[in-house]
Structure 1
């Protein structure tokens, strides 16, 4: 695979702009999202996941950037957090089988498998589709 970025360059290269998923008055709007976590899938380093100040971990395929207009290839969220606004991601990690482990502030830790995704734009996912998804495995941190 050819190199995507020149690490010896003195200037930065914009890879993507991560935005919120919001719907107001039936219009889609976006605000740039502050990020807390970035991880690379160890089984396929073409996939990176970003987590920030909302409840949706986003998976990006770096081979499709920047041509796909900053759209993720997949998003995840526990069903009960989809409509929550105060929740944000505090950390993420990939397993050696490409499962995504996500921790939230004041919440549990969730393990998402690839088949639990909400699609490119999670707020547009139908309730029937969301209800058909399996629940992620949940963990709690005990000190």
Structure 2
């Protein structure tokens, strides 16, 4: 287990206060969100992950009339990366739009992120605005403490 030690502390920051690379990751997630296929919920989500070597993979949610086979944006982005041989990530951004709240990854996506988090990495959650105002700065381990995995 990670023994409760968190490298990252949850906080809200202004988008303008973030590192340019983190802003770029959020902007990539916002762009990916535009391709979401959401005819049932009309709730579009975009995600982007940066690999340890700096390559960025993005994804959007894709719904299905049967609901269960749909894919969340985070899982789409991770699957794209894994299918191209990348399994180590250094950061993630997730964007959606709800007027009064930020929308962090769902439980399934938190577990999916945990699968590829040999080390904790930051997760940035923002509203899909241009530019976003507030950003929740958290991490995989903070989103899913003691997640299901074999810790080394």
TM-score normalised to structure 2 length: 0.32
Higher share in helix: 2
Query: TM-score, structure 1 length as denominator?
Result: 0.33
Greater strand share, structure number: 1
Decide which structure has the larger Cα Rg and report it.
Answer: 1
- Where relative contact order (Cα < 8 A, 6+ residues apart) is larger, the structure is 2
